[in-house]
A and B are shown apart, each in its own frame.
Chain A
Amino acid sequence: MHPRSVDFEIHMHVSIHHYLVLAAVLFCLGLLGVIIQRNILIMLMCIEVLMNSINLTFIALARYYNQVDGHLVAIFVMAIAAVEAAIGLGIVISLFRNRQSIDINDFNSMRG
C-alpha cells in the first residue's frame, strides 16, 4: 500500500474526534457570543447554541458506543432548552416592558 494513500485514508476518515472538536468549537463560540453580545435576545440564542453543542457531543458518543442512551439525553436537553427559551423570553418581555431596553449594559442593579 502506498503511504500517501494511507495518509489520505486517515485524513479523510471522519472519526469521533471530528465531532467532538466541532462540538467544542460550537460550545466556545456560544460562550463567546453570550459574553460579547449586548443584545439579550441574541444572548439567549447563543445559549441555545451551547445546548446544541452538548447535544452533538452526546449523539456522537452514542454512535461511538452504539448505545441509544445519548439520544435520550439529547431529547431531555431539547425539552430543557424549550423551557429555558420560554422562561428567558418571558423575562425579556417583562424587562423590556419595565425598562424599554434589551441592552444588557442597562441592567446593572447588581452593582453594589
Chain B
Amino acid sequence: MNPYFFYAFATITVLMVVLMILQKNPITGAMCLIVSFFSLAGLYVLLEAHFIAVLQILVYAGAIMVLFIFVIMFLNLKKEDLKTGRRPFYQFAALIASGALVTFLVVQYTKIPPVSFPESVAGFGTVEAIGSLMFSKYVIAFEVIGLLLLVGIIGAVLLGKKENHD
C-alpha cells in the first residue's frame, strides 16, 4: 500500500468537504462533494474494499448526488435565495465544539496500538465474500433494508405530491 496514495486521497477528500461547507451555491457544493466521494472510493480501494468502492461511485456519486442536482435544478433557485453566514460567535462556538470532538476522537483512537494492517485473507472484499455473508448471516437485515427503501420511496412520493386545491 503506497502511503502517497493515501495522503493524496485524504487531502482531496478533506479539501473538497471544507470547500463544500463554505459554499453558498448548492450546485458548487454538490460538485465538491462528488469529487470527495470519488477520492473516498479511492481510499476504499486502498483498503481492498473494491466492491464497496464501486458501490460508492455508483450509489453516492451516481444516484444520490444526481438526485441532489436534480432537486437543485427543480427548485430553480434565484441568487437572493442563497444566503450564507451566521453570527461570528455562533460559528466560533461550532468550530470549538467540533474541534473538541475531533480532539477527543483522535485521542481515543491513538490508544489503539499502531500496528500495520495484516495481510488480507484470500478473497477479502470480493463480491462473493460479501454476497455469501449478506444472504446468510445478514439476510434479515438485508430484507429490512429492502423494506426501508420501499417505505422511503412511498414517503418521497407522498411528500413530493402536489396537493389538490380544487
Contacts and interface: CB of A to CB of B under 8 A. Distances in A.
Q: Do chains A and B touch in the complex (CB under 8 A)?
A: yes
Interface of A: 10, 12-22, 24-33, 35-39, 41-42, 44-46, 48-49, 52, 55-56, 59-60, 62-64, 66, 68-69, 71-72, 74-76, 78-87, 89-94, 96-97, 101-103
Given A42-B26, A85-B67, A89-B71, 19 more contacts: A13-B3, A20-B105, A21-B106, A27-B101, A37-B21, A39-B83, A41-B29, A41-B71, A42-B21, A55-B40, A55-B52, A62-B49, A64-B117, A66-B121, A71-B51, A78-B55, A78-B59, A86-B67, A90-B158
Contact of A66 (B52, B106, B120, B133): B120
B148 to A, nearest CB: 6
Contacts of B124: 63, 66, 68
A68 B71 contact: no
A33 B98 CA distance: 10
A4 B83 CA distance: 52
A29 to B, nearest CB: 5
Interface of B: 1, 3, 6, 10, 13-14, 17-18, 20-21, 23-24, 26, 29-30, 33, 36-37, 40, 43-44, 46-49, 51-52, 55-56, 59-60, 63-64, 67-68, 71-72, 74-75, 77, 81-86, 90-91, 94-95, 98-99, 101-102, 105-106, 109-110, 112, 114-118, 120-121, 124-125, 129-130, 133-134, 137-138, 141-142, 145, 148-149, 151-153, 155-160, 162
Contacts of A20: 105, 109, 112
Nearest to A22: B10
Contacts, number: 234
Q: Which 7 A-B pairs have the closest CB atoms?
A: A90-B159, A33-B21, A83-B152, A24-B105, A28-B102, A41-B26, A86-B156
Contacts of B74: 93
Contacts of B115: 15-16
Contact of B21 (A46, A60, A83, A101): A46
Contacts of A62: 47, 49, 125
B51 to A, nearest CB: 7
Contacts of A101: 81
B91 A36 contact: yes
Nearest to B151: A83
A112 B71 CA distance: 32
A17 B109 contact: yes
B145 A76 contact: yes
17 contacts: A14-B116, A17-B110, A20-B112, A22-B43, A24-B105, A27-B102, A32-B21, A32-B94, A35-B94, A38-B83, A48-B60, A52-B40, A56-B43, A56-B44, A85-B68, A87-B155, A94-B159
